[in-house]
Amino acid sequence: MQIFARASLPIAAVLALLMAQPAASAADLTTAEVARVDLPRVYRLDGIAEAVNRSTVSAQTSGRVTEVHFDVDDYVSAGEVIVRIEDSQQRASVTRAEANLKAAMARRGDAEKEYARIRGVFDKGAVAKADMDKAEAALKETRAAAEAAEAALAQARQELGYAEVAAPYNGIVIERLVEVGETVAPGKPLMSGLSLDSMRVTVDVPQNLVDAIRNEGKAQAQVDGKWLAAKSVTVFPVADPRSDTFKVRLVLPDGTKGVFPGMYVKVGFVTGVEPGIVIPVSAIVLRSEVVGVYVVGEEGRVSFRHIRLGSAAGPDHVGVLAGLHAGERVATDPVAATIALKSQRAGRVSDE
């Protein structure tokens, strides 16, 4: 278990310390009180991991595939070109749209000059109102035509951009759906991928726990032996009538490593609080398969006691299910406590 890492020492190392250090007394030990606190009540279930970002990229223009840059299991960075489509037709459309825009701009320029000329003459009363209206209509028409030409050019350039299909986010290719030489049309799937940067876990939860999980909104997932708090917990509003369960989804912290889509992940949902006792992690001693602590009594006597651990209560404390009572004191330095216990036993033997 992870919590034993700081407290456990090889037997040879303990013996070496016992020989190298002078005898210690219980009065010299640093202790901590076994505290009674309200601990979260946790219900554990198994869930299935999945990627938050998983999608299939499709073609948005027509043409023949000329390049496919990535294959299954390749890592792709956001914005990298994954597929190229032959773009001669799209380039021709851009050239044609540019020419149409130039012509429209020229006609608009001529219409603006003509309008200015007619306006000047009209103000002097030299032309009829009908001629003025005609010049104004021609100006509006050429301006609208120029705007339409600009829109057509923007669309043509966008169609040209579709010939280079880019990755929408950092991810790994999981399926390649097109080969060089194939002719594609808009909507044709090209490549599927997913991102491991953001993962989530989906769990089927019994109906009787849903209200508590929704109210608490807290959950943890076990990854590589460590419990990580979920960023968010979402309870689906519809039950599965076949299993009488609700689907619950929790999002893992960004950048979580060691989780892959399809993996089973152990999840702990907080469903309330319950009274319990906790001790510092530093007080725990692991001897083979035995978990224990050194208890320091009121008279200063040291004894080793077996305990049964519960869930972690923060980074520095852990719950205890059996073996201790609130108010007792435990040694927070197991090595010093071992020395004190050895000294205590040696003194008892000499008295006899």
For 269-321, write each residue's pLDDT tens digit: 988 887 888 888 888 988 888 899 999 887 778 889 998 988 777 678 888 88
At residue 260, φ and ψ (nearest 5 deg) are -130, 150
**How many CB atoms within 10 Å of residue 345?**
11
Which residues does 48 contact at the CB level (< 8 Å), separation at least 6?
201, 202, 203, 262, 263, 264, 265
Q: Which fold has domain 44-53+197-274?
A: Elongation Factor Tu (Ef-tu); domain 3 (2.40.30)
The rounded Cα 95 to chain-centroid distance in angstroms is 45
The tokens of 229 are what?
């708090």
Q: Which fold has domain 2-38+275-351?
A: 2.40.420
pTM: 0.62
CB contact at 8 A, 40 and 310: no
- Gap between the Cα atoms of 213 and 217, Å rounded: 6
CATH class of domain segment(s) 57-86+163-196: mainly beta
Flag whether pLDDT at 26 surpasses 70. Answer: no
2-38+275-351 and 44-53+197-274 share one fold = no
Q: What is the pLDDT of residues 70-84, one digit of tens each?
A: 999 999 999 999 999
Q: In percent, how much of the chain has pLDDT > 70?
A: 90
Q: Which fold has domain 89-159?
A: Helix Hairpins (1.10.287)
Q: Where on the phi/psi map is residue 136: left (φ > 0), alpha (ψ -120 to 50), or beta?
A: alpha
Q: What is the pLDDT of residue 54?
A: 92
CB contact at 8 A, 39 and 312: no
Higher pLDDT, 86 or 225: 86
Give domain limits for the chain.
2-38+275-351, 44-53+197-274, 57-86+163-196, 89-159
Flag whether pLDDT at 179 surpasses 80. Answer: yes
Flag whether pLDDT at 108 surpasses 90. Answer: yes
CB contact at 8 A, 260 and 295: no
Q: What is the pLDDT of residue 5?
A: 38
Q: Where on the phi/psi map is residue 181: left (φ > 0), alpha (ψ -120 to 50), or beta?
A: left
The tokens of 297 are what?
């009594």
